[in-house]
Each structure stands twice: as C-alpha cells, then as structure tokens.
Amino acid sequence: MLNLALFGAGRIGQIHAKNISLHPNCCLAYVIDMNDVVAQQTAEKYGAQAVSVDQALADPRVDAVLICSITETHADLIELAAKAGKAIFCEKPVDLSIERVDACLAVVKKANVPLMMAFNRRFDPNFAHLKSVLDSGEMGAVEMLTISSRDPEAPPASYIKSSGGMFRDMSIHDFDVARWLLGEEPVSVYATASAMTSLHVREAGDVDTAIITLTCKSGKMAVITNSRRASYGYDQRVEVHASYGMLTVNNIPESTLSIATSNGMASQKPMAFFLERYAEAYRNELDAFVTGLQSGVENYPIGEDGRKALLIANAALKSLETGNVQTLALD
C-alpha cells in the first residue's frame, strides 16, 4: 500500500483524490492546497490530513507525490519532492521554459526518483487499444498519422494569457500522442495557424485554429489539426495509416440513442467535457504510476517525454512566427 500526497486539490486534483480512494494499492495520506478550506474538505472526504508541502515531504511514510497545482509551481515542487526522495506524478507541463525544464530534470536525475508526466491520452482505453495493435506488428510499419484534437470551447482570456499559447497548452498533448504512436522522433515541424473562432484568443495574441505537420527521418509523417472551439463537442480522434491498413479511434457519443425522422438521422454528440471523456484514462494513469512504482517498471511517460513535447511545441511556435519549417533534434 503506497502512501500518496496530493499537491493541489483543484479540478484535476479532485479526480486523482477520488481515484486514489478507489485504488486497492494506494491511499491518500496528505492533501496540500493554497486554499485551506479546500485542503481540509478534501482531506476529510478521503480520510487524509491537510498539511503543508514541507510536512508532507518530511514524512518518510509518504512514497510519492501527485503534483496537480498550477503550472508555475510544477518545477519547484518536482525539485522539492525529488530531493526528498519521493516518486513524482506530475500534470503537464514541467514548466513552460525549456531552460527551467532542463534544470528541473537534472535535479530529478540526480535524485534518481521516478517522474511520471501525466499525459492522460496514452491511458485512454481506445488509444491504448490502437497502440497495442500497432505494437503487435500485425499492421506493419506506421506511415502516416492524423490527429484531430478540438476543444468544445476556448478557455477564458485569463487562462489563455498564462497558458503559454495553444501549442504549449493544448497541442502538447497531441505532440506526445504523435511521438508515442510514430515510434520515431520528428526531425521537422511546420505549423500554420490563425485566430478565427474566438475573439478573446485573438486579442490575447494567441491562435485558436492550427494545422501542424511533423516529419521523421524515415519518411513517416504526422499531421495534427487543432481548434479551440468545436461546436459539436470534444473532438479527439486518431487515424493511423500503416503497411496493411488504417486504424481509427473515433469519438464516444454521449449516448447510443439515434433518431430517424423526416429531417434525417440524428445521433448524439461526442462527450464534451474532458474530465468525463477521459475518466477512465485518469484511473488508468494512476494505476500505471502505482503499478510502476511497485514493479519498478516505468511503463509511462517520463520527464524526458514532457521535455520533448515542449521542444516540439516551441518549434511549432517558431514555425508559425517565421512562416518556415523548423528542424528538430530530439534524439
């Protein structure tokens, strides 16, 4: 039974707290949140204690920490936890600055503690199913990957401004999926993008619509289409073309009801809320972390994966700014 400390009890922190309570091999020991009331309520709900960061890290019974606080705090908390010898589960990103990421990962390396980056999409049962078929080799080699990733609507202006831009905030999930499914690092990236759907995004100097192309040395390629606004729900699809055919993961409708009338056939929209859409992925990623700690086998994305996804995001941003293709050296 692993003892976990939760740093940040906001929306995603609550999801993890609940999943910890349902997991047979771990329990929630401490909750840490800037908001004392939230920390206290969450701790009570799950039989944990509300404490400070220092208290949690000082307790030798704590095996691991989950970092679910705001982005600005991630790198500092990772370093503190690493120095305290705790295993770390961290929501993306490590940091928006690649220099800060590098420094932080050096600390983790020195401390020799596990660091899992919570790229949740890898743990969605449907994407994982696709990956397992690819890994089986039965479809041959990957040739092309197309990722469709659209949010139902843009986050508020305040969020946009501190998000690091769409590529580092939203597309970064797709960069991770691309790396995961391509099985080879991209060597160049080209991005075209515009602000067409959300006025406050445009005013914030960010983009809301993009096409990003990644090319690998072997000739494999990937294209990511992004939008901050999809009226029909949360659009999360993947299509892989391989030697022997095409693998597709489609959206999950809100219900299986369909209605046929004189106006046509109507079926349900995709689930619109990411916490609902990826509910099972959140359970699975926690399990991957816990199981990984117990078995010593890191079968999950690590700090380096977070760093490489950020490097792609940065290059995509530079491609957009310069209008030219950018080379990447991720190997």
The site for a copy of itself (CB under 8 A) is made up of: 22, 125-126, 129-130, 133, 139, 143-144, 146, 148, 150, 188, 190, 192-197, 209, 211, 213, 215, 218-221, 223, 225, 227, 230-233, 235, 241, 243-253, 255-269, 323-325
Which residue, 90 or 178, is less far from a copy of itself as judged by CB? 178
Which residue, 4 or 193, is less far from a copy of itself as judged by CB? 193
Determine phi and psi for 10, rounding to 5 degrees: -80, -150
Q: How far is the CB of 96 from a copy of itself (least distance, A)?
A: 25
Q: How far is the CB of 204 from a copy of itself (least distance, A)?
A: 16
Q: Identify the burial level of 61 via C-beta atoms within 10 angstroms of its C-beta, where 0-12 means exposed, 13-18 middle and 19 or more buried.
A: exposed
CB 294 within 8 A of CB 25: yes
Q: How far is the CB of 247 from a copy of itself (least distance, A)?
A: 5
Q: How far is the CB of 255 from a copy of itself (least distance, A)?
A: 4
**143 Cβ contact list (under 8 Å, min separation 6):** 219, 220, 221, 241, 242, 243
Which residue, 221 or 290, is less far from a copy of itself as judged by CB? 221
Which residue, 105 or 195, is less far from a copy of itself as judged by CB? 195
Q: How far is the CB of 285 from a copy of itself (least distance, A)?
A: 17
Q: How far apart are CA 28 and CA 5, in angstroms?
A: 6
Q: How far is the CB of 217 from a copy of itself (least distance, A)?
A: 10
Q: How far is the CB of 308 from a copy of itself (least distance, A)?
A: 19
Q: How far apart are CA 283 and CA 103, in angstroms?
A: 30
- Dig out the tokens for 73 from the structure: 């705090």
Q: Helix 303-322 and helix 172-182: axis angle, to 10°?
A: 110
223 membership: H or E segment, kind and range: strand 221-227
Q: How far apart are CA 179 and CA 87, in angstroms?
A: 24
Which residue, 22 or 37, is less far from a copy of itself as judged by CB? 22
CB 185 within 8 A of CB 179: yes
- Dig out the tokens for 137 from the structure: 């080799």
Cis peptide before 93 (omega within 30 of 0): yes
